[in-house]
Amino acid sequence: MLWIKAFHIVFVAAWFAALFYLPRILVNLAMVPPTSHAERERLLLMGRKLYRFGHLLMGVALLLGGLMLAMAWDAYVAGGLWMWIKLALVVGAIVYYVRCGRMLAEFERLQNRRSHRWYRVFNEVSVLLFMAIVILVVVRPI
């Protein structure tokens, strides 16, 4: 069980690295001048690769987390409300990640209507999700 937990943490950390960086690529895309086609294409390529690779990391993290839950359901769920809130935040992180992919597709279709400032604020959502999840798992306040 500890090996599964260790690898779950590794894959979650790697997935959140993608969650931190992908919105930053969106910020940079929003700042690219219309005449910088090479820079735009490079950022789009980076974003597509990161988004696809992040799906793999997310899948492994979810699989390992689900396996841990299945093996010790009573221990995790009977311990309090923290696990249910954590799972809701994980669903929120997945929705956020999918939304990042859709925003990347908007840039590919030249349909972005948001400013780089908007993306800078949006970029912070993943940090808040990560902090809340870590606090719930470590402190288990409820």
Which whole number is the average pLDDT over 53-63? Answer: 86
Report pLDDT for 5: 83
| pLDDT, tens digit (0-9, with 9 covering 90-100), for 86-140 | 889 999 999 999 999 999 999 999 999 999 999 999 999 999 999 999 999 899 8
| Domain that includes residue 12, residue range | 2-139
| pLDDT, tens digit (0-9, with 9 covering 90-100), for 38-51 | 999 999 999 999 99
- The reply, when asked if residue 86 is annotated as ligand binding, is yes
| pLDDT, tens digit (0-9, with 9 covering 90-100), for 6-34 | 888 888 999 999 999 999 999 999 999 98
Whether 76 has a pLDDT exceeding 80, the answer reads no
Report pLDDT for 136: 93
Please list, in sequence order, all residues whose beta carbon lies within 8 angstroms of the beta carbon of residue 78, skipping any fewer than 6 positions away. Answer: none
Report pLDDT for 52: 92
On average, the pLDDT of the chain sits at 91
* Domain total in the chain: 1
pLDDT: is 45 or 3 the higher one? 45
pLDDT: is 43 or 63 the higher one? 43
Report the alpha-carbon distance of residue 60 to residue 10 in Å, rounded: 10
